[in-house]
Amino acid sequence: MEPAAARGASHGLARGLGARAGARLRSLARTPGLVLAGLVVLLVLAWALVPNLFASGDPLTGVPADRLAAPSAAHPFGTDHLGRDVYTRVVHGTGVSLSATAVAVAIGLVVGSVLGLLAGFLRGWVDEAIGRVVDVLLAIPSLLLSLALITALGFGTVKVAIAVGVTSVAAFARVMRAQVLRTSTSLYVEAARAGGVRWHSVLLRHVLPNSAGPVLALTALEIGTAVLAIASLSFLGYGAPPPAPEWGSLVAGGRDYLATAWWLTVLPGLVIVALVLAVNRVGRALERTGEAR
């Protein structure tokens, strides 16, 4: 059984940290830049969840008479060479791009966190073995590693997401390991160990919850990185095949019309940039909140 003193100390610390984090978050919410970033993120999430609410047209069907029409009230992002509304394609492509991003970040978060948790808590040869794997992942440029994995797995949005997810494992593992090493020396953890609590109970009930804050902040930052990586690979032709309105392929599709129809590339590209900047702004705020804790 877990000692009452250790359990009370852990719960008291958690309540204190939660109160300070809540105060910090309320302070950050009054920052205009952060509020704007949050609104951008919410808008893009709404696009992904209910695209027909924002763009009811068919993203795959165009009107030849409206081909290469400039941005206007009828077509906010203009139309492409087949007369398809670019805004509609961007909105409906949000679900595809964010789904791939979610898969990539989930792979990095779960696999990296498990590796970092085991390395930091068990130490010894386990830490050494996992450390060597992480070093190999860090030694290879992420884009090169993604391309190598896609070559092995094949093309497609899911394969791109897996490849991007594998490249982010090392970052999550390093952050989790550092936090576990710090948390493992806390008094409440030492008290639980001294009281005879089983190691897996200490790991799951004390070490993991108190090590998760910086990892969650990193998750927000990695979302932006994953969006860029998936869009880049889609731009190179490794993502969903045409006519799927994936963000990277939308940017790539306008390359041949830059001189006459700049909006085909610029406006979808600006959506990607806006989302990445907004997510990074939110991630930095969460990171500062974790540091304040």
Q: What's the pTM?
A: 0.81
Q: Is the pLDDT assigned to residue 225 strictly greater than 80?
A: yes
Q: What is the mean pLDDT of residues 164-193?
A: 82
Mean pLDDT of 24-40: 75
Question: Over 80: is that where the pLDDT of 66 sits?
Answer: yes
Q: What are phi and psi of 42, to 5 degrees?
A: -65, -40
Please state the rounded mean pLDDT for residues 102-123. 89
CATH architecture of the domain 4-68+78-292 equals: Orthogonal Bundle (1.10)
Averaged pLDDT of the chain: 83
pLDDT at 31: 75
Average pLDDT over residues 103-126: 88
Range from 4-13, 42-51, 68-77, 98-107 carrying the lowest mean pLDDT: 4-13
More confident residue, 138 or 290: 138
